[in-house]
Amino acid sequence: MSEERSFGRTEEELRFLARVANALGREVETSPPEQPVRGVRGLPTPEAAGNSLEQFLANWRAVGGEADVVRAREAAGRVAEIAREWGVGRVVRWNDPLLDELGLDPALQAAGISVYVWRAGANRDEAIREVDRADLGVTTVYWVAAEPGSLALLSGGDTPRAVSLLPPAHLALVPASRVVPGLTAIMRETALRGLSASLNFITGPSRTADIEMELTVGVHGPGRVYALLVEDR
């Protein structure tokens, strides 16, 4: 077979692709496709940075996520309002200084909601029991990607994945300055800073269609997710 037809593939790869093409009743491709990748959006451009916040809100809401933008002094009160609206009685949260600075615990406790703070070094069995009993997990974020509308969370001793994964609802407090155009910027910064390999992206409520292609929400994770963007501190 000529070099033009092989595209640098081995004979074994070419035989495999020929079998696939034959099974599908198609001709074997003899030239590179005009569009190398289909179905993938282009990377965000630097010009997109100016409207990243609006992009994030649009994309996040399009996949079923809920969101609001508040000033820092309003954030704790808004979290308490959302918790009351959702019928929350127990909250588990990350041990993040931002949540202390915003006065989250007093606001929730004033609304009759108990708060458990997962701290590094906590008894794991006890902490897991608290998470299992919680109605709402509250976290911050490492960054937010406007495209495709994702929260990026880094796991650690004070910031375990369980808090965003196990309760039936998740609320993330997001400093507006942490919104970037796309995932590429987050992956680049993560590599440059040598940060944890446990970087988790959350794009709307948990959903699956594993069983008979029936879309189900909230089976493998929270069925409600809320991004509360905080404009300043």
Residue type at position 159: T
Q: Measuring CA to CA, how many Å separate 186 from each of 50, 59, 147, 173, 222? A: 17, 17, 11, 18, 23
Q: Which residues pair with 93 in a beta bridge?
A: 117, 138
pLDDT at 32: 67
Does the pLDDT value for residue 225 go beyond 90? yes
pLDDT at 89: 97
pLDDT tens per residue across span 64-95: 999 999 999 999 999 999 999 999 999 999 99
pLDDT at 210: 73
Mean pLDDT, residues 119-134 taken together: 95
Gyration radius from the chain CA atoms: 22
Strand 169-175 with 216-217, pairing:
unpaired
Residue type at position 61: R
Contact between 145 and 186 (Cβ < 8 Å) = yes
pLDDT tens per residue across span 11-36: 888 888 888 888 888 888 777 666 55
* CA count, 13 A, side-chain hemisphere, 141: 27
pLDDT at 38: 56
Q: Which CATH architecture has domain 52-231?
A: 3-Layer(aba) Sandwich (3.40)
Angle at CA of residue 148, ends 65 and 51, nearest 5°: 95
Does the pLDDT value for residue 114 go beyond 90? yes
9: confidence class by pLDDT, cuts 50, 70, 90: confident
Single pTM value for the model: 0.78
194 against 124, higher pLDDT: 124
Lowest mean pLDDT across 1-10, 70-79, 131-140: 1-10
Most confident listed range (85-89, 143-147, 184-188, 220-224)? 85-89
Q: Is the peptide bond before 148 cis (omega within 30 degrees of 0)?
A: yes
Mean pLDDT, residues 132-142 taken together: 96
229 against 44, higher pLDDT: 229
DSSP letter assigned to residue 43: P
187 against 219, higher pLDDT: 187
